[in-house]
Structure 1
Amino acid sequence: MTTTGLGSLPGEDIREWTKVLLGAVDIPFLAELPARPYGDMLSRAVAVLTQLAADLQPAGWRLTGGSDPRASLDQRRARSLLAEDLDVLEELADGYTGPLKLQITGPWTLAATVELPRGDKVLADHGARRDLAEALALGLGDHVAEVRRRVPGAELVVQVDEPGLPAVLAGAVPTASGWSKHRSVDGPGAVELLSLVTGAAPTVIHCCAARPPIEVFTKSGATGVSVDISLLTNSAWDQIALASEAGTVLYAGLVPTTGPLPNQEQAADPLIRRWRELGLDPEILKKIVITPACGLAASPSRADARARLDLLRKVVDVVAEAADNT
């Protein structure tokens, strides 16, 4: 069994966090530090959109369109920050071999968040959302190639963050006026665009929702799914069971991101108990990746976030012991 985090962490010191992550978890990752300007997950995605230009408005990121494809000052700043972070990773991971995870905002969450040049969300325009997904796929491929060049011993995994996809599927994303909702997207349509970003490297799709669309994730080519165990409904567990038995790796969010820190037995219990209730193979349980419930950017301090990461390996021991005794 292995451990990793889900991307975001508190504070602004990428160097210190990179040092920590190269030893604190089994699958280190390039941290997102949203306390920094242009350090949030959306800005990270905009930074890799080399085929599309965008600028930052009071309401968020907006495609600029028109005949001038040059990046705005904000987009150039986002790219510069990402390049600086990669410089730090290259330096500190010199000689590193093993798994290494990158995070990117998924095409549907981007489409439900980024605005068109004329206003409203990219989600409103079928052509624009495909263009956005294709640009994201191209940019992600270049990003993965760049990290492979800088850290040649790394076995890259890409985490695609899709917190907005359940709302897209349910037709719950508000229009610009706020008086109505964007039309829902069906499962095959969601798979079509999501599958564009799963080919650059083995991909785990992360969605902290009560009913994450697991079937959409697996049909899109994801090799893993990342969920908050505390939120899952019974129907979601049924999909998790099917996916796990089919070989999809479960990234189980067990350590809460805020509030009192549980002990390892308390943190592991929801997973172990439900696994036994469903009668699932204990050998599959041993292959699960243990994570925090979600990103740790909301942790009140670096020390608190570090304590939650340190707890992961203790949880692994408890889950492994339970698998052996099941």
Structure 2
Amino acid sequence: MTTATGIGSLPGDDDRAYSEAVRTVLGELPDLPHLPELPGRGMTASMVGRALAVVSGLGADLQPAGWRLTDAPGVDHRRARSLLAQDLDQVEEQGHGLTGGFKVQVTGPWTLAATVEKPRGDKVVSDHGARRDLAQALAEGVREHVADVRRRLRDVDRVVVQVDEPALAAVVGGGVPTASGFGRHRRVDLPEASAHLEWVMEAISAAGGEPWVHSCAADTPWGLVAGSGAVGLSADLSLLGAADLDVFAEALESGRTAALGVVPSTEPTTPPTDAASVERVLRWLDMLGLDHESVSGSLVITPTCGLAGATSDWSRRAMSLSRDVALRL
């Protein structure tokens, strides 16, 4: 059976909005609800702040230029951890008795390395040792995170961990800007890029989770992602090019998951119908040379990206439309 889920982020800027977001996700996406993210609450609730809240053994704090690694957790790092714990409390309370699957999201090692600064400035991606340490700390933290989710949602038998890597293409393509903004960091070689992803995928699997990788950025190297051990590939369908067809076809044929972003993340002038979105997915499968019935159980329908920039009404509509498309498929 084709299912539906969300990417992660939703609109809202306070605790009351978060409680409502959890209620909405549990109601609109019953087959695979996810842990909502409300970046409108500030940097401690952003995708990077959330990931640093998960990272084990490293400290961080907010600086004018953004997050920076430190010798010990600063006040903002502690707030990020506290906020994540509070959000999980909400899910535990409202999701009591939840069965089936549940999805959480974490920023991947390369997007973190391209975003977070070293203690003395410039991005972690500029230093081979620093980016290795950050990736390993993330892997260990994710392992603990999955265990915590399983403890809180005892009746859930499937925990999906979506690793968000929107900066992966820039990292391997040499497109991450330096601190001055006038240059670009050297590209990371593909074997190293793959190895760091593999550490995180292996940690998720070892904890009993199901590792996915998501990116709604153009030129994501999906072949590298598929080779890293990801069980699910999650992408904006409109950004998948001809070079990606074989990767997704092989993933579906091997029983892995393809999460397809087909519902706009902000309200368009003419919202798509579920029938039109279903037809779009079927045409794409035909391009892959795959029979819909044989792979329908491996398909997941999602919005094209996070919904933080949407209105509350459209975010709810996008989730219900994703569910309707999945049901029709």
Whole-Å separation in 2 of the counterparts to 1:31 and 1:72 = 24
Deviates more, 1:204-213 or 1:188-197: 204-213
Aligned to 1:255: 263
32-41 vs 171-180, which moves further: 171-180
Counterparts in 2 of 1:48 and 1:180: CA distance versus 1, 3 Å = same
C-alpha contact 1:229 1:270 (8 A) present in aligned 2? no
Give the alignment partner of residue 56 of structure 1, picking from 45, 51, 62: 62
Aligned pair partner of 1:34 in 39, 51, 54: 39
Question: Which residue in the other structure is 1:162 paired with?
Answer: 165
Q: Does 1:236 align with 2:244?
A: yes
| Matching residue's letter, 2:267 | G
CA contact (8 A) 1:162 1:207 kept: yes
For the aligned residue pairs, the C-alpha RMSD in angstroms reads: 1.3
Identity level (%)? 50
Superposed CA offset, 1:9-57 (max 9, x none) = 0013111111121121120111000011221111101111231111101
Say how many residue pairs are matched: 314
Shift of 1:268: 2.8
> TM-score of the superposition, structure 1-length normalised?
0.93
Three-state SS of the structure 1 residue aligned to 2:41 is coil
Contact 2:169–2:218 (CA under 8 A) maintained in structure 1: no
- Looking at structure 1, the residues matched to 280 and 218 of structure 2 have their Cα atoms a distance apart, in angstroms, of 14
CA distance in 1, matches of 2:33, 2:100: 9
Q: Does 1:284 align with 2:288?
A: no
1:92 alignment partner, one of 89, 94, 97: 94
Query: 2:23: which partner in 1?
Result: 19
Give the letter for the 2:265 counterpart.
Answer: T
Give the corresponding residue for 1:109.
111
Aligned partners of 2:97 and 2:326: how far apart in 1? Answer: 27
Aligned partner of 1:30: which letter? L
Question: Following the alignment from structure 2 to structure 1, what is the Cα–Cα distance between the partners of residues 3 and 327?
Answer: 10
| Residue 81 of structure 2: aligned partner | 79
Q: After the TM superposition, which residues 175-186 of structure 1 pair with which residues of structure 2 at under 5 Å, given as runs?
A: 175-186=178-189
Normalization by structure 2: what TM-score? 0.92
Counterpart check, 1:296 vs 2:276: no
Structure 2 residue runs of 5 or longer lacking an equivalent are none
- What residue number does 2:322 align with? 312
2:212 alignment partner, one of 189, 199, 204: 204
Counterpart residue identity of residue 62, structure 1? R
* Aligned counterpart, 1:324: none
CA contact (8 A) 1:209 1:232 kept: no
Which whole-Å deviations, capped at 9, do the CAs of 1:67-106 have from their partners, x for residues lacking one?
xxx3100001101101111111111111111100010000
Partners of 1:264 and 1:315 within 8 A in 2: yes
Partner SS, residue 40 of structure 2: coil
> What amino acid is aligned across from residue 149 of structure 1 in structure 2?
R
Q: How far apart, CA to CA, are the structure 1 residues paired with 2:12 and 2:313?
A: 11
- Which residue does 1:9 correspond to in 2? 10
Partners of 1:7 and 1:317 in 2: CA distance:
21
CA distance in 2, matches of 1:253, 1:72: 36
What is the match of residue 192 of structure 1?
195
Structure 1 residue runs of 5 or longer lacking an equivalent are 321-326
For 1:204, what is the secondary structure of its paired residue?
A: strand
Alpha-carbon distance between aligned partners in 2 of 1:243 and 1:122, rounded to the nearest angstrom: 31
Note if 1:223 corresponds to 2:234. no
* Aligned twin of 1:122: 124
Structure 2 letter corresponding to 1:43 = G
Shift of 1:286: 4.3
What whole-Å deviation, never above 9, does each CA across 1:145-193 have from its counterpart, x for those lacking one? 1111111112211000000001111111111122321111122211100
**In 1: Cα distance, 2:87 partner to 2:327 partner:** 32
- Partners of 2:321 and 2:327 lie apart in 1 by 10
Q: Distance in 1 between matches of 2:287 and 2:162?
A: 29
Q: Deviations along 1:257-305, whole A, 9 cap, x unmatched?
A: 1132211122233322121133213211442000000111110x21210
